[in-house]
Structure 1
Amino acid sequence: MPGLFFQQRLVINQYREHLLNTNTVLLFDAQQLNVDEFDLHALLSPFELAVITRRKSIKAKQEYLATRLLLKYLVKQSSAQFSHLTANQISSEFDEQSSKLLIHITGSETVFSSCLSHSNGFVGAALNIERAEFGFDIEKISVQRPFVKLAKHFYHQDEVNLITQSQQQSAERFFRIWTLKEALAKATSRPIAKLLSPNVFTELTQANLAALSCQYNEFDISVVSDKSTDWQCSVVNSISQLRGVLGF
């Protein structure tokens, strides 16, 4: 059973507008952005402006702006009724009660659930229009980290055995298990701390959730969902590809 989760089954393609569907995770290298070149008041809601202002590091500002632009693009593309919106009329705000990042639209009662992830400047964003159990995670595969030691300290013994039985694939297996745990945590709104020691493959099976994963460059990506296995990833090479829709 665990072998299925190590297969590279998540589809990743280069961004093409006509290839997008409602089950798309947009990926982007946020380190390309020069935040100072953007009119943030035109692109971000007042709430989001307050958040990005509190971000201290350049990388944190890049990741925040990039993920919000991706989310706003997805909202405007999701339905013709939202295509006229300006970017700053779409606001992302974390809801403590549901542990979800919710998308609010000025003058509308419509609320979207969404999911974000970032690692070393590489970011992803997705809408959860069907309000399904859904989550995804991105993690850079770092062979420098003491992943075997970390696995023995935090992971289930069966997971440790999978990691240590193949020296060549130990790092890849460690991070695949990690992204599955993180994606599962987001899908079920459970704290990641409570999913570190249980066997993630057992947890996914018991929760009747589907998982798709793959590697992209130096990153491992996993998607967990209860309603669909047709999730895909689309890599945006330049934020200017979204310019026409976002209006900047």
Structure 2
Amino acid sequence: MSSAYFDNQLLHTPLAENNNHTILLFDASQLQVDELTLTQFLSPFELSVIARRKTPQAKQEYVATRLLLKYLVKSVLPSSSNITLDKISSEFNQQTCKLELNINNNQVYSCCVSHSHGLVGVALNIDNSLFGFDIEKISLKRPFEKLAKHFYDAAEVALITKQPCTAAKAATFFRLWTLKEALAKATSRPIAQLLSPNVFCELGNRQLSATSTTLTNDVNEQFDISVVAKKSTDWQCSFISFAALSSKLAFK
């Protein structure tokens, strides 16, 4: 197995206005959903989805990801400048197994969303190439060795168990997990089909590139992020502040 998959090569950079290879990250807990006039920002379809979300965190994460996607549309697609946010709708395409953005019932772009314990991320896949990413909180409390032995390839289990301490074992488990999830999204396959195969072999066989990193939030929680892509290796991730998001989309 290549050690390159554990080198944290995915860059974490300051937010750039027009970078179309950016995974936009945001702390969804900053959103007060009840204070937003959602009909101004969400499409009718998105409003029907948020109505089915039960917990406050689920509502925050859903609204945050959709606002982030619309921020990216407004930032990287000049043709969208006069389109209102409620005309930009995110809907899952059952045929392609991809999340898509339908803009003004005219343009359709592939996109990707991930969230874990309040941290959300989105990416707009303008090139419509094979692409997927995943975010997972690194938890030392989860029985990750037991889970790995039940689901993972034997060589992956050995890689985890040989690590010198619990923290290193957890980091290895979750890096493998985000790679598998990102691969599942890139190739439109159920994650259940990719848990037991060796993820490094799967990436090599499909000639896909992968980069990853680990980020720490303001309360010292760690998250692992992995990207799998066919064409581009220049994907990067950037945090956006609540102030920047609200200013661009005109809410407070």
Same fold (TM over 0.5): yes
Compute the displacement of 1:78 (Å).
1.8
User: Could you say what secondary structure the match of 1:116 adopts?
Assistant: strand
Answering whether residue 224 of structure 2 is matched by residue 227 of structure 1, we say no
Compute the displacement of 1:247 (Å).
2.7
Tell me the amino acid that sits aligned with residue 190 of structure 2.
Answer: P
Output the CA distance in 1 between the equivalents of 2:103 and 2:194: 33
The verdict on how the C-alpha distance between 1:107 and 1:92 changes in structure 2, with shifts beyond 3 A counting, is closer
Tell me the amino acid that sits aligned with residue 240 of structure 2.
Answer: V
Please name the residue that 2:9 is paired with: 9
User: Could you say what secondary structure the match of 1:54 adopts?
Assistant: coil
Output the CA distance in 2 between the equivalents of 1:172 and 1:237: 27
Q: CA RMSD in A?
A: 1.1
Output the CA distance in 1 between the equivalents of 2:95 and 2:182: 19
Compute the displacement of 1:14 (Å).
3.5
Give the number of aligned pairs. Answer: 244
Consecutive unaligned residues of structure 1, counting only runs of 5 or more, are: none
- Output aligned runs, 1:108-119, within 5 Å: 108=106, 110-119=107-116
Per-residue CA distance 1:38-97 (angstroms, 9 max, x = gap): 110000000001110111100000000000000011111122111111111100001111
Output the CA distance in 1 between the equivalents of 2:213 and 2:139: 16
Runs of 4+ in 1 over 3 A off after TM superposition: none
Please name the residue that 2:52 is paired with: 54
Please name the residue that 1:204 is paired with: 203
Tell me the amino acid that sits aligned with residue 138 of structure 1.
Answer: I
Answering whether residue 94 of structure 2 is matched by residue 90 of structure 1, we say no
Please name the residue that 2:219 is paired with: none
Identity %: 58
Output the CA distance in 2 between the equivalents of 1:245 and 1:29: 17
Answering whether residue 235 of structure 2 is matched by residue 237 of structure 1, we say no
When normalised by structure 1's length, the TM-score is: 0.96
When normalised by structure 2's length, the TM-score is: 0.94
Output the CA distance in 1 between the equivalents of 2:119 and 2:77: 27
The equivalent position to 1:24 in structure 2, one of 22, 25, 28, is 22
Output the CA distance in 2 between the equivalents of 1:124 and 1:213: 14
Output the CA distance in 2 between the equivalents of 1:16 and 1:73: 12
Please name the residue that 2:147 is paired with: 150
User: Could you say what secondary structure the match of 2:13 adopts?
Assistant: strand
Compute the displacement of 1:107 (Å).
4.4
The verdict on how the C-alpha distance between 1:247 and 1:86 changes in structure 2, with shifts beyond 3 A counting, is farther
Output the CA distance in 2 between the equivalents of 1:59 and 1:179: 21
Please name the residue that 1:185 is paired with: 184
Output the CA distance in 2 between the equivalents of 1:119 and 1:221: 10
Compute the displacement of 1:136 (Å).
0.1
Output the CA distance in 1 between the equivalents of 2:54 and 2:77: 35
- Cα contact 1:86–1:247 (8 A) shared by 2: no
